[in-house]
Amino acid sequence: MSDLLRFEGVTAGYHEITVLEDVSFDLPPQKITTIIGPNGAGKSTLLRTVYGLTTVTAGRVIATGQDITYLPPVQRLAKGIVLVPQGRSNFAAMTVYENLLMATYTRRDPKVRPDIDAVMARFAVLGAKRRLYAGNLSGGEQQILEMAMGLLLHPRVLLVDEPSLGLAPMMMDYIFEAIGEIARGGTTILMVEQNAARALEISDWALVLDLGRKRFEGPAAEIAANPQVRQLYLGAT
């Protein structure tokens, strides 16, 4: 079992509305795990449950060997769990550099500015556009900025919700390349992605949710080749 992040029979939702039912999984460390499934399957809710934004009514969420089921998001953040939510979540009227600086607001160490310089070097588009307002970046560039903001918190687990949503194919490839680079750097990624086939190509592990329940789990390549998954969730005939 993974000591990094584990769900044990988790049932969760919003107030009296149940979305996830009896979901269990172990997150492989330093790998990319993708959650796929139809609309309304509970994929984003699973990420929000990891981050502490839902109501858990049964089961446990374990992180680094500790029960975090009822911890608030700020305490999960301290444990290295960082969420990059769906849609634009930056400060549009602030520059790229100012956004990166805001991302480090909770840090109190002397390496903040060197880390910002390093992330701008890692993603060259951010360094080149450091003085531009974030709202003037393309959708893909804003997604890169938001993932970079998350990385500045030195996550053990980076939760990424629909990173390619609304992007052109070329920029979609850029985003997936960036996600792969982040994982190769040692960060564990748990991702929800609408482009299931493309996400499975870059992933190591996969979960399939449907109606709030886990239907399939396994190596991403095996999930992608599974005839049932291909027919029901990947649009194959």
Question: DSSP letters along the chain, please?
Answer: --SSEEEEEEEEEETTEEEEEEEEEEPPTTSEEEEE-STTSSHHHHHHHHHT-SEEEEEEEEETTEE-TT--HHHHHHTTEEEE-SS--S-TTSBHHHHHHHHTTT--STTHHHHHHHHHHHSHHHHHTTTSBGGGS-HHHHHHHHHHHHHTT--SEEEEE-TTTT--HHHHHHHHHHHHHHHHTT-EEEEE-S-HHHHHHH-SEEEEEETTEEEEEEEHHHHHH-HHHHHHHS---
Give residue-wise pLDDT tens across range 85-105: 987 789 999 999 999 999 999
Give residue-wise pLDDT tens across range 216-232: 999 999 999 999 999 98
Confidence (pLDDT) at 169? 83
pTM for the model: 0.93
